[in-house]
Structure 1
Amino acid sequence: MSVGSLNWTSFCMPSNEYGMDKAAWAESVCHAIGGVNYSPVADAPTWLQLLGNGVWTMIWTSLFAFIVAFALGSIIGIMRTLPNKALSFIGTCYVELFRNIPLIVQLFFWAFVFPEFLPLSLSSGSGEMVHGGWWQNILNNNPAAIGVFALGLYTAARIAEQIRAGINTVSQGQKNAAFAIGFTQSQSYRYVILPVAYRIVWPTLTSEAMNVFKNSAVLYALSILNFFAYTKTMREETSQDIVILILSTPVYLIITYCIKFFMAWVEKRMAVPGLGSGGK
């Protein structure tokens, strides 16, 4: 198959999502480039509009998942460096559990297994009292919330290891100096240890931010209509595999590079004049 024979405007074909309002931006783009594939009187919006919605879903789910992962990962990472053996053990168990189980398995666990351990409650789907009915209601009505929760927990285990490594990299002299001027343990972490540790591990956190975005594609398994889910559906409906893969791949590249540049900007803002960052 030659490149010239490919249907490059197949994104402007009507989709299979009826009952959705058409977006003006997608209609304008397809009116300009859609050619014979675009029908302004079609009842369904174009695939371009659905893919745009999917990109937005992918972005905001990734953002919230990273916020959850960063906050929880920081807490777990700190716990693993505390002299309290019980807290350190809990942190270690969390990391070993969530880091070593594939994300797709964890998604299915939270969706189908976890509710069975919850008390009986009313399920809006069946109208009956079932185990974890309230959890199933969230899964049915807002699966993205469960997806963000699961992706955040998974990524938190990876971030926790990096935070732990960053804290252990802080010199003992700096830690002793914090105690010498009268800081409590919590004050030492807040004002001395963590600011240094975050600067050291920020480049690796940049990689995790990019990984969260890429891993968010797996959330389609919970019926979350993100970019990957719509490209998969479009491939099945239009059979334009090559065109879809060629034109959708740059979307991932552009967004991941935007994440990289944003995190690099934050790293520069955090840098202390005269001192390096990222372990330099």
Structure 2
Amino acid sequence: MSIPGPNDILRHELPNGIVVLVRENHTSPSVVVSGYLEVGSRDEPPQKAGLADFTASALSRGTVRRTFDQIYEEVESVGASFGISAGINRTGFGARSLAEDLPRILDVLADVLRNPTFPPKEVEKLRGEILTDLEERANDTRRMASLTFRELAYPDHPYGRSVDGYIETVSPLTADDLAEFYHAHYTPRGTVLVIVGDVKAEDAVRLVGEAFGDWEGPAPDRSPLPPVAPPDGVREKFVPIPGKTQTDIVLGYPGPARTDPAFLDAMLCNTILGVFGMMGRLGDRVRDEQG
């Protein structure tokens, strides 16, 4: 299998600003759809931390055309998978299905992204799931270590807040809050949609146009991120979790900016040293050489 390159990827921009990238791969009768919108937790106010992810998760809980059960049944009935989640800078979506079911999957995806209704009963069910997860996070050493590191590294900054939010910020959010955030930030402009698999590139572009071509909206209106202040010395914090014998340690140091030519080199180095966990060099030294 060849490595993807500019010569085998079709790029097409719809009139509404959606960028479509397609790469044909006919080794199996399946397709993968992936993409993102220019909205994330950086766009939510601090007192409503978790709003972006709550909104993204609620998109598939009901639309103008389908109930949550109908969405689930339509995807599951053809053995497909489907998901949407928010990050700090963007909200990602993805789906996988047989190539013959691509029109159906794109139709469901477009319906979810364009026509959510945020039914109050479904929003309450989803809130319960989120709050349960946040309670579980408080007892998870790895997740708490990661969250605490971000809070120390980026105090009073969107990068330092939990994308999932906090119990005290998610609890008061309403269906109206989700709808307001959606209408303020979800737009086709800036959206990127990628399709890879057993489909002709021209057919994929046509199907995306049929599903998304008449979606209208302005360019994302995003406030610039505040600058990140460099650490003024060592910052450290110990978070005790009663009943836990496992300890997770997160270490960090200011590195090159994403636009720095050395950024990818630093990412690779970081991966080899520690991102692999116990399979990385640090994990190997701690576990195998020092017991």
TM range (shorter): under 0.3
Work out which of the two has the higher radius of gyration on C-alpha atoms and give 1 or 2: 1
Higher relative contact order, structure no. (Cα contacts within 8 Å, ≥ 6 residues apart): 2
More strand by share: 2
**TM-score (ref. length: structure 2):** 0.23
